[in-house]
Amino acid sequence: MTGLRYVYAVCRPFGAALQSQLTGLGGDPPRLLTHHGLIAVVSHVPEQDFAEKPLRAHAEDPDWQAATTRAHQSVIDALTAVTTPLPLRPGTVFRDDSGVRTMMEAHEDYFRRTLDRLDGRVEWGVEVYAETESFASRLHETLSSYAEDSRLHIARNSALSGVAGRNVLDAAYLVPRSDSEEFVELVDRAKEAAAPGTRVELTGPWAAYSFTGHLPPVPATPASGRGSAAHQESQ
């Protein structure tokens, strides 16, 4: 099958099979491209949608962007169920397999170092909606002391989210898979102890998007060509 190469994630080799009905962008099943003991999870995508010029045009189409993000995330979720993926930013596209391998080789140290740090770990998200921040501050301190790492995100506009109360906490926590059940129990106990009108939302487990850092720019490689510059940064 011809087409550009869309890259979802980089991971180490894994033995478990992906879902048999899993499809990626455009309905093409993801495949595993191995290079120096690392795996890029890729699928073929058409140039008329994913070459640099049409990809820029699609950036103005929220429906197209939403559909692409959902397809991207479905592959990441399937990978998270069987291994520890390092997810790349939606829209990571290369001309061919050679371009993907060039990217992997250019950032081999980054991929290996990050995968070592994330191995066996998942991300949990916690949001708190309340009128005051004291409960959220205590909860964040408790969860941060249990998790291996945490990230605070900019609180969302609760008027847009449709949830009552102010969004006083939006945080991500890096937790070993083996400790996830206890982490969830911590959040559940916090929900029970929360004052009336306080809402605590838990999401996950996710691939560790918030803890991957940033992928440095990939040097130009004329032999491979690049369908998009969007691959220069991880999520």
Checking if the pLDDT of 220 tops 50, the result is no
Map out the domains of the chain as residue ranges. 4-107+215-232, 120-208
CATH classification code of 120-208 = 3.30.70.260
Q: What pLDDT digit, counting tens, does each position of 93-132 carry?
A: 999 999 999 999 999 999 999 999 999 999 999 999 998 8
pLDDT reported for residue 132: 83
Q: What pLDDT digit, counting tens, does each position of 159-214 carry?
A: 545 555 689 999 999 999 999 999 999 999 999 999 998 999 999 999 999 998 77
pTM over 0.75: yes
What are the DSSP E strand ranges found in the chain?
4-11, 31-35, 38-45, 86-87, 93-94, 121-130, 149-152, 166-176, 199-206
Checking if the pLDDT of 136 tops 50, the result is yes
Mean pLDDT computed over every residue of the chain: 85
